[in-house]
């Protein structure tokens, strides 16, 4: 297996701008690449996460002069047994394998395959969404709503092309 490609400072700066245009703030980048970590530090981003075992979701305070919502970017695949918790949005640049779990106070965006367990809107936000390039979660929760993929089948998307998203509707069910 080859090592992941380092993300350059210019690329991180562009990503930060794109997220800013969508009222989201990139505040941390976690990577095994020294080049990526150095680029993130040069942009004033956090490069390590403090994990807590309790159920309370915590993040670093966001500068009040910046508009947007805090988001955590993880630039690698989440493997079986890995759990990510964040008070805001979670963005995964990689896959979420079966047995991996994401718990987010906001929305979850996966730039890859979503095959693990995801809980968006964990603090009760029913407007949260879950998006993935390949949408086949083992279990999906948005706020207090929950669904699972049918036994032995991947969740099908409305477009049929693998690209999907899900949100809770006012009736209490999940819809695409």
**Average pLDDT estimate for 66-95:** 90
Q: What is the pLDDT of residues 117-176, one digit of tens each?
A: 999 999 999 999 999 999 999 999 999 999 887 765 544 433 344 445 555 554 444 544
**Average pLDDT estimate for 80-102:** 95
Residue 154 CB-half CA count within 13 A: 16
Tell whether the model's pLDDT for residue 96 goes beyond 70.
Answer: yes
CATH of domain 77-176: 2.160.20.70
Check if the beta carbon of residue 84 is closer than 8 Å to that of residue 101. yes
Tokens of 73: 């970017």
Kindly list the domain boundaries of the chain, sorted by start residue: 1-50+66-75, 77-176
Cα 61 vs. chain centroid, distance in angstroms? 18
Percentage of residues of the chain with pLDDT beyond 70: 73
**Average pLDDT estimate for 76-104:** 95
Identify the CA nearest to 67 among candidates 105, 107, 27, 23. Answer: 23
Q: Mean pLDDT for the chain?
A: 81
pTM above 0.75, yes or no: no
- Edge-to-edge strand list for the sheet holding 101-104: 83-86, 101-104, 117-120, 139-142, 145-148
pLDDT for 5 equals: 84
Percentage of residues of the chain with pLDDT beyond 90: 51
Helix runs in the chain, H state only? 9-21, 34-42
Of 38-42, 64-68, 117-121, 123-127, the range with the lowest mean pLDDT is 64-68
**Average pLDDT estimate for 37-45:** 92
pLDDT for 60 equals: 60
């Amino acid at each position: 297996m080859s090592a992941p490609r380092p993300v350059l400072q210019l690329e991180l700066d562009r990503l930060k701008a794109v997220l800013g245009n969508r009222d989201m703030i990139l505040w941390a980048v976690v990577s095994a690449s020294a080049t990526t970590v150095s680029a993130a530090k040069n942009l004033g981003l956090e490069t390590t996460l403090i994990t807590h075992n309790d159920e309370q979701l915590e993040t670093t305070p966001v500068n009040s002069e910046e508009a947007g919502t805090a988001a955590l970017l993880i630039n690698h695949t989440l493997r079986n047994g890995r759990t990510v918790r964040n008070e805001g949005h979670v963005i995964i640049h990689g896959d979420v394998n079966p047995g991996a779990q994401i718990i987010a106070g906001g929305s979850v965006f996966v730039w890859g395959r979503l095959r693990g367990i995801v809980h968006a809107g964990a603090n009760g936000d029913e407007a949260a969404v879950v998006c993935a390039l390949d949408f086949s979660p083992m279990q999906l929760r948005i706020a207090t709503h929950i669904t699972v993929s049918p036994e032995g089948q991947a969740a099908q998307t409305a477009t049929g092309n693998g690209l999907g998203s899900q949100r809770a509707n006012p009736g209490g069910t999940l819809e695409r």
